[in-house]
Structure 1
Amino acid sequence: MIHIGIIGLGAIGQRLIKQFIEQDKVTITAVCDRNESLARETSEQLGNVQAYTDYKQLLANTQVDLVYVAVPPKFHHAIVMDAIHAKKHILCEKPLANSLEEAREMADAAKEARIVHAMNFPLNYGQAATKFAELINDNYIGKLRRLQLSMHFPEWPRAWQKNDWVGGRDQGGFVLEVGVHFIQQTLKLFGELYNIQTRLEFPEDPTLCEKGIIATAELADGTPVLIEGISGQAGKEHIGFTAYGLDGVLTLEKWGELRGGKTGDDIKTISLEGVLTPRLIDELLKAVSGEEAELYDFEVGYEAQKVLEELRKER
Structure 2
Amino acid sequence: MTKREGQNESTKRKEITMSQNHYRVAIIGAGVMGQRMIEAIAKHPQYDVAAICDASESRAQETAERAGNAAWYTDAIRLLDNEDVDLIYLAVPPKFHHPIALAALSRNKHLLCEKPLANSIEEAEDMLAAAKAAGVIHAMHFPIYYQSLLPVMQERLRELGEIRRIDILTHFHQWPRPWQQVPWLAGREQGGFIREVLPHFIHLTYALFGDLQVIRSHVQYPPDPLACETGISAYLELADGTPVTVNGLANIAHQEHLDYRVYGTEGTFSLVNWTNLHMGGQNEAPQRLEIPLHERLIQLLDEFALAMEGKKARLVPFEVGVKVQRILEDLRG
Within 5 Å, give how 1:83-94 maps onto structure 2: 83-94=104-115
Deviations 1:23-70 (A, max 9, x none): 111111000011000011001111211011111111123421110000
* CA deviation after TM superposition for structure 1 residue 195, in Å: 4.5
Within 5 Å, give how 1:3-22 maps onto structure 2: 3-22=24-43
Q: Which structure's residues are more often helix, by fraction? A: 2
Which letter does structure 1 place at the counterpart of 2:317? D
Instruction: Find out whether 1:53 has 2:110 as its counterpart.
Output: no
Question: Residue 29 of structure 1 aligns to a residue in which SS?
Answer: strand
Distance 1:306 1:274 in 2: 31
Name the counterpart of 1:219: 238
Residues 66 and 89 in structure 1, CA contact (< 8 A), matched pair in contact too: yes
Q: Would the alpha carbon gap of residues 276 and 168 (structure 1) be closer, same or farther in structure 2, given more than 3 Å must change?
A: closer
Within the candidate set 107, 119, 140, 1:98 is matched to 119
Q: Would the alpha carbon gap of residues 274 and 13 (structure 1) be closer, same or farther in structure 2, given more than 3 Å must change?
A: closer
* CA deviation after TM superposition for structure 1 residue 135, in Å: 1.2
Name the counterpart of 2:10: none
Name the counterpart of 2:6: none
Instruction: Find out whether 1:205 has 2:215 as its counterpart.
Output: no
Q: Percent identity?
A: 44
Within 5 Å, give how 1:225-264 maps onto structure 2: 225-264=244-283
Within the candidate set 164, 168, 185, 1:145 is matched to 164
Which letter does structure 1 place at the counterpart of 2:272? E
Residues 123 and 181 in structure 1, CA contact (< 8 A), matched pair in contact too: yes
* CA deviation after TM superposition for structure 1 residue 263, in Å: 1.1
Which letter does structure 2 place at the counterpart of 1:41? E
Within the candidate set 295, 304, 315, 1:284 is matched to 304
Name the counterpart of 1:27: 48
Residues 214 and 331 in structure 2, CA contact (< 8 A), matched pair in contact too: no
Instruction: Find out whether 1:107 has 2:128 as its counterpart.
Output: yes
Runs (4 or more) in structure 1 with deviation over 2 Å come to 127-130, 273-278
Distance 1:196 1:65 in 2: 42
* CA deviation after TM superposition for structure 1 residue 125, in Å: 1.1
Name the counterpart of 1:309: 329
Within the candidate set 56, 63, 67, 2:84 is matched to 63
Residues 51 and 83 in structure 2, CA contact (< 8 A), matched pair in contact too: no
Residues 279 and 286 in structure 2, CA contact (< 8 A), matched pair in contact too: yes
Distance 1:195 1:308 in 2: 9
Which letter does structure 1 place at the counterpart of 2:325? Q
Residues 132 and 252 in structure 1, CA contact (< 8 A), matched pair in contact too: no
* CA deviation after TM superposition for structure 1 residue 149, in Å: 0.4
Deviations 1:204-238 (A, max 9, x none): 10101110000001112211110110011112100
Distance 1:273 1:35 in 2: 38
Deviations 1:234-261 (A, max 9, x none): 1210001010000000001111110010
Within the candidate set 80, 91, 98, 1:77 is matched to 98
RMSD: 1.5
Deviations 1:70-126 (A, max 9, x none): 000000000000000011100000000000000001001101211010101111111
Q: Pick which of 72-81 and 264-273 moved more.
A: 264-273
Distance 2:319 2:218 in 1: 27
TM norm structure 2:
0.91
Distance 2:176 2:85 in 1: 33
Distance 1:159 1:311 in 2: 25
Deviations 1:129-165 (A, max 9, x none): 33222211xx111100000100000010000001110
TM norm structure 1:
0.96
Aligned residue pairs, count: 311
**Mind listing any 5+ residue stretches in structure 2 that lack a counterpart?**
1-21
**Mind listing any 5+ residue stretches in structure 1 that lack a counterpart?**
none
Residues 74 and 97 in structure 1, CA contact (< 8 A), matched pair in contact too: yes
Which letter does structure 1 place at the counterpart of 2:331? L
Q: Would the alpha carbon gap of residues 6 and 255 (structure 1) be closer, same or farther in structure 2, given more than 3 Å must change?
A: same
